[in-house]
Structure formats: C-alpha cells, structure tokens
Structure 1
Amino acid sequence: SPERTLERKVQEVLLALWLEQKYTKDQILAMYLNRVFFGSNAYGVEAASRRYFNKSARDVNLGEAAVLAGLLKAPSRLSPARDAEAANARAQLVLAAMREQGFITDSEVKTAMSQTPASAKSYWTGAGLYVADMVMDELPGLIGDVKEDVIVDTTIDKSLEKKAEQSLVDVLDKEGDKLDASQAALVSIDGTGAIRALVGGRDYAASQFNRAVKAKRQPGSSFKPFVYAAALEKGLTPFSVFNDAPIRIGDWTPENYEKKYNGEVTLATALAKSLNTVAAQLVMYDGPDQVIKLAHRLGIESELQPNASIALGTSEVSLMELTASYAAFMNGGYKATPHVIRRVTTAEGKVLYENTYDSPPRVLSEQIAAQMDAMMMGVIDNGTGKSAKIPGWQAAGKTGTTQNSRDALFVGFTSNLTTGVWFGNDDGKPMKKVTGGGLPAKAWKEFMIAAHKGLSPAPLFGNGQLIDNPNSSQPMAQAAPDGGQPVTAEVPPSTTIGGIISGVFGGDANANRYPQAPVRQQTATSGNGPVPPADVAEGGGAGYGNVVPPGDVGTPQTTSSVQPRRTTLLDLIMGQ
C-alpha cells in the first residue's frame, strides 16, 4: 500500500537487513526484476520483453533495455503500448545516466537511441491469452495467494489452440459481415474434461472478455439432449412415437423452426429434425425438475428455470459448461469436469497442486449414453447438423438457435473430442438467419477435421447403434446405412471412458496401455426403468486407479519414448 508511517519504515529497514544477510546483491536484483510490474499486464522483465519487443530479455539491445529500465518509475503511464513517445523520452534519460556513470560511451548512446522502438501493440494477441487469464483467475483458488514463482502445466494442446482460433477467424472473415455475425467462441474438451483448446472471442487484442467461459447465453435447441436423456431414463426409447402437431401448454404454444409439422415421429427423428413440439411434450412427460436434475448431474452448473420452455433452451448457460456436459455422452456416461490447470509446482519442483481427474463418477448408464450417441449421430447424418459431417469419422451433436438468431451454437463430438462453438454479437443484435447448422457447424467441422488429421477413425460409444433394451417391451432398431428398413442391433460390450479416449490412437497396440475402468456390479435391477439418478451419480467403484487417460490429442501419437513437454502458462502468454 502507499501508506507512509514510521512503523512501516522500521519494518522495511529490518526486512532490508534480513535480505542483505540472506541473499547477494545480484540475487536480490534478479528477484526484483522477475516480479516487478512493467505495465500492460506484464510482470517481470522476461514477460515485459516479450510483451513489448516480442523477444526474450536475453536478446534485447541496449535501447530496448533502456526502455524497460525506464518503465519502473511509472509503468502504466510510460508503457510503450500507451505512450511510445514518453517511453522513448524516459529511455533517453536512462542512457544519459549510464553515460554519466561511465557504463557506456557516447557512440553507444547514439546507437542505442536509434534502436529504441517507436511503439508496441496495445494488447497481446492470440487465443492463448484467454486461457492465460482463465488460469490466473483460477490459480488462487487452488493454491492460495501466489507468493513465489510457480510453474503451471495446463491441459491445452498448442496445435489445437491455433487450429481452433483459425477456424473461427476463417468463418467470420468469409461470412461474418454479410450475416451480421461479429463474434464467436469455441471450447474443446476430451473425455476427462481436460480443456484442449479454448477461444474466448474473435480477437483478444480488441476484447479480453472470455465468451466461452464468462458469457451466459440461451443454448436454444442444443439443450434438448438433456430432455431426451431424461425421457430415456424414464423408460422411453429412440423409437417411442410422439405426435408432431400444434400444441398448447398453458399460455405457451411452441412452434417448429420451419413452422411445419410431421405427424407421428419417433424420438430419434424428432431430435434429428429438432422438432420443438416433441421436446415440449417430453419436458411435460419427464417433469422440468427431472430434466434440471439430469442437466446438473452431467455438468450444467447455472441455475435453470423449472418450466416447460426449458425444452427449447431458455435458461442461460456458458458454452464451457454446455460442452463439458456433452462430454458425458461421448465418454460413455462419466462426468467430465472441465479443467485447464493440470499441475502447479514451485521453481524447485515442489508440487503445490495436481489433479488428473482420473476417477470420474458415472452420471449416465452405458445404455442411455449409447442410445443418445446414436440419436445425436442422426442430427449430423440426416438432420439439422449436416454441415458438420467429418469424412471418415462417426460424429454426433446438436444444433441450437435462439430467437431471431441472436445466438447460434453447435456442440458435438467424436470418440476423441467434444467441441462447442458459439456465434453471435456482444450486444445481442440478431444475425441474418444464422442457425446452429450454419456458421457454428462450419467452424466446428473445420476445427475437428484439423484436430483429427493423422488419427485413426474410431467409432462412437456404442458404435452409433440404436440398441435393443432388454428391460423394455418396446423394440429398438438400428437404421440401415442406406436408409432402408431398420435392423435389430445387439447391446455392445461394456465400454469405459478409458477405452473411448484411448481408442482414437488405433489398433491393439494400446489395448493394455490404458486399462478399462472396473465395472460396478449391479445388485439389483431397476425394473423396466433406467439406472436411477442416485445410483448413476455414485462414484464408488468407477475410475482408473492411478492410470491417467491419454490427453495428447490433435497430433499423431509418436513412437518416441520421450514424452512431449506439457504446455505451461508462460507458453500460452508468449504464444509458443
């Protein structure tokens, strides 16, 4: 604090004496330079050098070093990003003082003055900065106040991060202006909940607000999978038939997007075509409270309103929590808690925090997860998400569009990654007929194709088959590839989150590398209904012991025995 008292001065004298006894002058100076504020959100001389000159502090020339030294008097006011002229003037004073003290010659002063940079960018750029801000926000909650240098290992895959940012920029640059879409966000998560890529907006330099994490928007129809999953848990099947026709629920009369009705349809068809009337009927069948319980169980943390319109995604959620909740469908029914910090250590190597999230609780039965995956495949294969098809890969997902196209989303997954994409405007201005199957699905496809390049295709959990429920009197079927008559399919063998994630690396070579999680034995069946929520959410018996599921996605697995270095917070800040 700026407080000036005699007591404080005495404390500072004692502290100075202690420092002199414990450390050398060089050590004290190094500690100071590694921690002091240099303006523009840069702490430490290395970060400041990267911030202003895009190079390491070891590589700065004399003029640049003078600029850095001059910042210490008033780092915010003298920042080259704010006032380049003031920064350069201050640097000349530093050089003059060095000449007076005999550290440099007149010729060196003349050369250095010609080296001082004219200006610096107002803000760093790059999607990794959204992640860095997120890490800094979360770090105190994990290790308390940061009082020493720490090393933060993140879950981010740098190649995926670049691909994610590029996919959003490509679509916005190509179609954003003509469709009145100015912003976008993306988050990609693996089966354990590890965030592999995150883009909080179009350009960090223009806006540092993280739309993937902090913005809460209506998800629209991308909320419907929770409604359908709740219905399956009550005993319905993908082939249960509902009537798609005009309905009234109190004063609410939900309509389909195309203002057309199809008569009797199966639940699988209704989800693929995103029929609002059927979703509204299902909420009344499930009960809004049951839908909310399931959504919260899978990972939605935002408050949800218990009304019928929840079927159409009228309660606001963040893109990150929505995407993480979809990961439970992808990984076979386990909760995927989203996290970006994997490990925190001191400079000496002491572990301050570590969480591998390798023992997640089961939140959906395997059967329900497999049924949902198969139905959501229909969204991409035959429904509103056709623009998201990935050649050679099974993929599932759901589109979402809010009223007047204020928000458009696509959230989907392969056996490898679950990715959510949002397009819209910060001021809530409507876009021009943009739907979740439009810009978001295109960006999702571009990113996922790039992310899966070089990987061997692996099927979704349950192999994308609609399976026969042994506890149900209502038959279920698998749609034939050519659109012909459905054929009965067998229940797939028990599959675990470890198998789902490791399956993308191909072949039997990795079969024993990541053992399957033990399957908890059921002591009693639940009649004709699904596994009850209390049983599903129980964590006992599930998990991997001490085995960490693989997280190196986005690039082909190498045969080298040397493991790649984890992405650290400094890597993200520096854009490496």
Structure 2
Amino acid sequence: MKRGSRRAAAERSEPGSRRKLTRKSRGGGGSDSRLRLWAKRIALWGGGLAVLGAVFLAVAVSFAVQTMPSYYQLKATQNDQTILVRARDGTPIVELGPSFGNWMDYDEIPQVMKDAMVAVEDRRFYSHFGVDPIRLTGAVVEGTIGDRSRIGGTSTISQQLARNLFLNNNRSVDRKAREAVLAAALEWKFSKEQILELYLNKVYFGGGAYGIDSASRNFFSHPATELSVAEAAIIAGLVKAPSRYSPTADVDAAVARAQTVLRLMREQGYITPQQASVDVDAVNLKTRLGGNSVRYFTDYVLPQLDLLLPETFEAIEVWTTLDTELQEQATASIRANAPDGAQGALVSLDRDGAILALVGGTDYVESSYNRATAAQRQPGSAWKLFVYLAALEAGWTPDDGVQDAPVEIDGWRPRNSNGRFSGEIDVRTAFAYSVNTVAANLGQDVGSGTIASMARRFGISSPISTYPSMVLGTSDVRLIEMTRAFASISAKGQSVEPYGVLRVTAASGEEIYKHQRGRSRQLVADYVAAGITDLLQTAVSTGTGRAAQIGRPVAGKTGTTSSNKDGWFVGFSSGITTGVWMGRDDAKAVRGLQGGRAPALAFSSFMREAVKGRPVEEFDTEVQLPGWMLEPDEEYLYGDPDDYYFIDEDGNLVDPQRREVDRYGYPLPVEGEQVPGSGERPQLTLPPNEAGQAASDDFLDRATGENLPPPAPPRMPRTIRSSETSRESVN
C-alpha cells in the first residue's frame, strides 16, 4: 500500500512537474520571440523612415538643384566693395574689402595647388557625393557625446563651397543639414572639376583675398599660375584659420601649417618625399610698405569717403596724401623714443594741410586705437599757444615786460616747474621757458573766454574749460587738433584744414572725386602771427624745446602735464608741421616723461628726414603793429576792417568778405535777416560752459568808434606790465 501510494503520488507529481517545466521552457522562448518581433518592427520602421528620409532628401536636393544658379552665374558673383589705397606717389599701401584677383579656369590652376587643397581639406573629394560619410559619422559621435549644438571638422570642399556661396558661418546642426543638401545639389549639378574651380576661386584666404590668384598676389607678389610647391602649401594651409596662419601676421605659424600640408600631400601620394622637404622658410613674402602703422592712417581717412563720394558699390582706388617713406620714419621715431610702457602718436602736415604721416600708436597689431585722432589728453604748456595768441592780439608784444612772481587767482596758485620766480622778464623769455605764473597773469588779463575763442578759431573742437587753470592746458584735446593749430601759425595765420584723400577713381578709370582746396581764412593779423612765431622759435633755440633742433629754423612748443602723465611737442619747419604725443593709455605717470625730452627727440628724428630736400625757410618774426594801434587819428578810432575777426555765437570765426560790409567791417544785412538795432553791437557768445568774447570791449569800442576816448598823445611801445596788470609807458 505504501509502495503503491508512493508510486501513485510520484505519477501524479510528474505531469505537474512536466507542466511546470514546459511553462518555464515556453516562457524563455516567448522572450526571444518578443525581441525578434521588436527587432523586426524597428527594422521595418527604421527602413521606412530611411526611405522617407531618402525621399525627402532627394526632393530637397532636387529642389535645390532646380533653384540653384547656373555655373556661369556663380562665377560672376562677387560680394562687397573693394578699395585699393595708394600713397601720394601711387604706390599701393593697403587693399580693403574682398579682392578676387583674376579668375582661373580649372586647366590654368597649377596641379600642385589643386592637390594641396584636396589633401588638407577633403582627401576623399573625388569619391564622395558631397558629404563624406566617414567624417559625418565622427560628427554624429561628437554631437552625441559633446556639444550637441556644434558639429565641427566635417565639411567637405563641396560643403565649404555651399556655405561660402549660400549660407553663413553658424555651425549649428540646422545649418549643417542645409549645407549638406546644398553640397549634394552642387555635386548633382556640376562636375568635380567645376566644383574645385569654383572653390579655389571663391574661398577666403585672409587679408581680404578671395581665391588663389588674389592670395598669391597678396602674399607673394605674383599670379597663381607661378605658385611653387611651398607657396601652394602655405595658401592651402590658410583656409582652416586665415588670420591665425597668415604669413604676414605670424610667419612661424604659417610655416608650421604649410609643413603639415606637405606631409599630408606626401602621405596621400601627391608629391615625392623630396618635394615634401622643401624649405618653406625660403619663400619670399610680399614687402609691406609702411608697416602696419599705415592702418592708423587708413582708419582715419577712409570713413570720410562716405561724405566725399556718391553712393557706389564698384571697386575704387583711393589716392592719398601719405608719404610711405615719412610714414616709416614716423613709426621708427615713435618706437625708438617712446618710454617703456608708454604709447606714442605723431601727425605731420604739409603747408596746405595734406597729411604726410600719421601714427596712432607703437604697434597697430597690438592696439588699433588711434591716439593721433581719437585720444583726448591734456596738452599742458603746449596750450599756451592760444594764451599768447590772445595776448598778442590784445596788444602785447614779445618785448613787453612781465613779472614772474607768485600769483593767486580765485584761490588758485600756479607754480613754475623749477619752483622759482625770476622777477621781471619779457614776454619772449616767459614763453620760451614756459613760465606758468606769467601765463596765468596773461590769461587773467585777456580772459579765459577770449583764450577759448582763440582755440576755437584755430580748429580746436574738443570741449574747453574756462577755469583759470585752463591757461596751463587742463582741457583735453586731440593731437591732430593741436597740429592743425600750429600749422595755421606756420601758414602766417591762414587757416589750414587737414586732409588725406587726393582723388578717387572707379574701376573704369573715371575720376569720381578730386580734392579741392577750400578758401583759407586769415585767423589772426600778420603782426600776431609774426609775434607768436618769434616766441615759438625762441622756445626751440634757447628754451624748453632745444632737443627739437634740426640744423635749420624750427618753431615749436613743449607740453608736460602734472606728474608726467603726458608729453607733447608740436612745431614746424620748412612748411611741415609735426605734432608728437607720448603717455600711457591709462593716464598713469611715466617716469622722466617731459615734452622737451622724448617727444622733442622724436620730432627732431622725424623732421630731419621730412625736410630733407626742401629749401631752408627763415621765419618772419618782425612785429609791425598796424598804424591804427599807434596813432590817435581816424585809423586809430575806427581801425582797418581787414584786421578784424568776428566770432559767431558758437565761437567760430566769421569771414566778413563773404558778403558786403559796412565801414566798420560788419556784414550788411540781407533780406529776411534779423540784425541788431542802430548802434548796437552784436552779442558774442561761446558754447555752454565757456564765457567771454574774442576781443575786449575796449578794443571793440576803439575799432568801431563807439564810446570814443578823448584825444591822447601818440602811443609808445610798452616795456613793463606788472603782475597787477597795470600798464606803464616810457618815453
């Protein structure tokens, strides 16, 4: 019974066990089936999506092919305007904007140039359909594990051409997709030879050069048909980073990149090992006239074309006033004399205002900021030019006596640089040694507003303070403004307007602009110009500007600001006026910087070359006061209208010869114009924060005949004027 029961129990347990094992076995088989099922589904869906994607891609490419310009249209397209800038002798100095050179057909392009470009940019160019699958796979991996918004290093030559012709440089996934579609369309519509021809004539190589012919002329001074293996390697290496590998910016980087190109060409069988070992260092690069400092000049001059020219988009050539030899000399003078850590700037004008040289810093590559035309710095004692001009116009002469003694003006106590006072001296000596106390007294005598008006008259457009200390040059000005003012003194008081463009011609050769010298104006009378020239010449011959001597007559003025933050020297000789500034951009003190040292030495170094070949010119320093200032007759009472200078409400000089004037020199009214009533003098005003008028009331009363003084004995030259501003005459 027991045995039977056990057997029966065992028999009853076996089916259950088998069922259990069967269910387990079935369970494992079901899992595999489900995996296979999902794999089939994914394959079907994936295949379907791939087919849809292929259809979509085919439609997109087909549409792109239909709308794409023809080969000949693509050849003819050029973007932006090109500007070739020439020096005064016609020498090309810089080319701005895109330069395309001559178009080169596929058969004209040297084989070594084509091989170099394919080797470094797209080794599978001749086998892919516009997109390189191998490079694309790497791009997908990069986009998956790296920055998903950027895909780099995937562009074939066809893709680069598509980007250059139709797209921007954004490296997003969306742009890459459109780039791929357009590249495939290019491959569909054009042959490999046509694509490579378009690419080599369109790709950017830096320095404004588009295409291999422009690059070859830009870097090697010959057409692309003459490219050597080493030169082709240099050009091919530029595409990756034109600014980084430019041979004109970094020769070492360009050579290293070219050697990489040669290695790739050898590995891919385009050149022999002997050709790959060429000496890239031996390549002759195009000589750059004027150095990089030429860009300071072009940056200042070329924006003026917007005002000078009618709207045009064709290529133009701009003939300028720049003298390349003097530009090089100016650059060398600034670099050789600027103190360590300091910057320097130089502007040189010919007698008619033509800019002969302009340097805005020690190195344009390091800093393109133009300190000659944009920086505003305190001129120090160079500003005394306007103080003494105002004093001379008010009746002072170089021989008049003044007092170098302590002075206080509204709580301001100016000090001399040597800390001493010399007592009684003359105006000439005070100017030559830049005596601050005398300048302060003269400024108080003529008035800050009169000095500001004089500066405006001579072309200073920067804001001018009228505090008493302004006589010592506390108002910021630009170097080109100060140089212009001194140039007007060199021109015997005639206005001078700086200019840099002589003429402009279109690509057709048509002259579309020619400089016409404007009508000059007499800013001060001859006796004032002669008097200030006397003072300026003395400052160089015996005063603070002795370091500026060049072996011929020189007139100029030094300028040094407090704590030696700025050093100036501005002067002229033989019709050339040159201004020099030195200092730090952060306006910190520079040890030992004084206008009579480094700036004066830079001026001397430059001017010796600038005036070479010009005749020696003696200055007219004879001060002949007009008769109306010396005799108490009708001329004394009314003066000569030709000697008067009228200032408008903005402080600018009004030329009375532009219209008829009355016997006092005032312009006669014209129809519809509001004029002052009978016997009323026009009010002279200055810009905001500036006060005073260009001439004293006493001077105007005598000039116009109003408030006539009683008859007086003949006026004799003054010999002494005290710091109290009292006047004494001697027999």
TM-score, normalisation: structure 2: 0.56
- 1:344-378 CA deviation, whole Å, 9 max, x = no partner? 11122122322132532332222221221112111
> 1:516 — aligned with what?
none
> 1:482 — aligned with what?
none
Q: Is 1:361 the equivalent of 2:478?
A: no
Describe the shift of the 1:295–1:245 C-alpha distance in structure 2 as closer, same or farther (beyond 3 A).
same
In structure 2, what residue type is equivalent to 1:470? G
1:64–1:117 CA contact under 8 A, matched in 2: no
- 1:384-442 CA deviation, whole Å, 9 max, x = no partner? 11222232x22211110011111111100113200111222233232223221111112
Q: Is 1:472 the equivalent of 2:589?
A: no
Describe the shift of the 1:537–1:332 C-alpha distance in structure 2 as closer, same or farther (beyond 3 A).
farther
Greater fraction helix = 2
After TM superposition, the structure 1 = structure 2 runs for residues 327-476 of structure 1, keeping only pairs within 5 Å, are: 327-391=487-551, 393-460=552-619, 463-473=620-630
> 1:538 — aligned with what?
655
Deviation at 1:162, TM superposition (A): 2.2
In structure 1, what residue type is equivalent to 2:623? L
Quick one: distance in 2 between partners of 1:216 and 1:425?
Answer: 12
Quick one: distance in 1 between partners of 2:298 and 2:214?
Answer: 13
Quick one: distance in 1 between partners of 2:644 and 2:282?
Answer: 67
> 1:114 — aligned with what?
278
Q: Is 1:245 the equivalent of 2:405?
A: yes
Aligned length: 470
Quick one: distance in 2 between partners of 1:148 and 1:33?
Answer: 23
> 2:258 — aligned with what?
88
Describe the shift of the 1:89–1:166 C-alpha distance in structure 2 as closer, same or farther (beyond 3 A).
closer
Describe the shift of the 1:439–1:112 C-alpha distance in structure 2 as closer, same or farther (beyond 3 A).
same
**Structure 1 stretches of 5 or more lacking a match?**
475-523, 543-576
Describe the shift of the 1:307–1:150 C-alpha distance in structure 2 as closer, same or farther (beyond 3 A).
same
What secondary structure sits across from 1:352 in the alignment? strand
> 1:276 — aligned with what?
436
For the pair shown, the structure with the greater C-alpha radius of gyration is: 2
Deviation at 1:87, TM superposition (A): 4.1
Deviation at 1:224, TM superposition (A): 0.7
After TM superposition, the structure 1 = structure 2 runs for residues 47-196 of structure 1, keeping only pairs within 5 Å, are: 48-49=215-216, 53=219, 55-57=221-223, 60-69=227-236, 71-72=238-239, 75-76=242-243, 79=246, 81=249, 84=254, 87-88=257-258, 91=261, 106-107=271-272, 111=275, 114=278, 116=280, 125-143=291-309, 147-172=313-338, 176-177=339-340, 182-196=342-356
2:234–2:255 CA contact under 8 A, matched in 1: no
Quick one: distance in 2 between partners of 1:258 and 1:12?
Answer: 81
Deviation at 1:241, TM superposition (A): 3.4
In structure 2, what residue type is equivalent to 1:441? A
Deviation at 1:96, TM superposition (A): 8.3
Deviation at 1:45, TM superposition (A): 5.8
Quick one: distance in 2 between partners of 1:304 and 1:313?
Answer: 10
In structure 2, what residue type is equivalent to 1:190? D
Q: Is 1:325 the equivalent of 2:485?
A: yes
Quick one: distance in 1 between partners of 2:501 and 2:355?
Answer: 9
In structure 2, what residue type is equivalent to 1:464? T
1:364–1:537 CA contact under 8 A, matched in 2: no
Quick one: distance in 2 between partners of 1:84 and 1:21?
Answer: 31
What secondary structure sits across from 2:628 in the alignment? coil
Quick one: distance in 1 between partners of 2:201 and 2:315?
Answer: 9
1:380–1:386 CA contact under 8 A, matched in 2: yes
- 1:181-202 CA deviation, whole Å, 9 max, x = no partner? 6332211101211111122222
- 1:485-543 CA deviation, whole Å, 9 max, x = no partner? xxxxxxxxxxxxxxxxxxxxxxxxxxxxxxxxxxxxxxx7358985444696428579x
Describe the shift of the 1:139–1:531 C-alpha distance in structure 2 as closer, same or farther (beyond 3 A).
closer
2:645–2:655 CA contact under 8 A, matched in 1: no
1:471–1:529 CA contact under 8 A, matched in 2: no
Identify the structure with bigger relative contact order (alpha carbons < 8 Å, sequence gap 6+): 1
Quick one: distance in 2 between partners of 1:438 and 1:199?
Answer: 19
What secondary structure sits across from 1:127 in the alignment? helix
Deviation at 1:318, TM superposition (A): 1.4
In structure 1, what residue type is equivalent to 2:628? N
Quick one: distance in 2 between partners of 1:247 and 1:186?
Answer: 35
Quick one: distance in 2 between partners of 1:413 and 1:405?
Answer: 24
Describe the shift of the 1:299–1:375 C-alpha distance in structure 2 as closer, same or farther (beyond 3 A).
same
> 1:525 — aligned with what?
639
In structure 1, what residue type is equivalent to 2:566? D
- Tell me how large the CA RMSD over aligned residues is: 4.1
TM-score, normalisation: structure 1: 0.70
> 1:38 — aligned with what?
205
Describe the shift of the 1:72–1:235 C-alpha distance in structure 2 as closer, same or farther (beyond 3 A).
same
What secondary structure sits across from 1:151 in the alignment? strand
In structure 2, what residue type is equivalent to 1:212? A
In structure 1, what residue type is equivalent to 2:496? A
What secondary structure sits across from 2:523 in the alignment? coil
Quick one: distance in 1 between partners of 2:311 and 2:201?
Answer: 17
> 1:520 — aligned with what?
none
> 1:287 — aligned with what?
447
Describe the shift of the 1:380–1:469 C-alpha distance in structure 2 as closer, same or farther (beyond 3 A).
farther
In structure 1, what residue type is equivalent to 2:405? A
2:573–2:611 CA contact under 8 A, matched in 1: no
- 1:286-333 CA deviation, whole Å, 9 max, x = no partner? 222222222122111212122222211111111111101110000112
**Structure 2 stretches of 5 or more lacking a match?**
1-59, 79-99, 106-197, 632-637, 660-731
Quick one: distance in 2 between partners of 1:338 and 1:45?
Answer: 39
1:19–1:28 CA contact under 8 A, matched in 2: no
Quick one: distance in 2 between partners of 1:160 and 1:250?
Answer: 47
Quick one: distance in 2 between partners of 1:153 and 1:94?
Answer: 44
2:255–2:280 CA contact under 8 A, matched in 1: no
What secondary structure sits across from 1:251 in the alignment? coil
What secondary structure sits across from 1:423 in the alignment? strand
Deviation at 1:20, TM superposition (A): 6.5
Quick one: distance in 2 between partners of 1:138 and 1:32?
Answer: 35
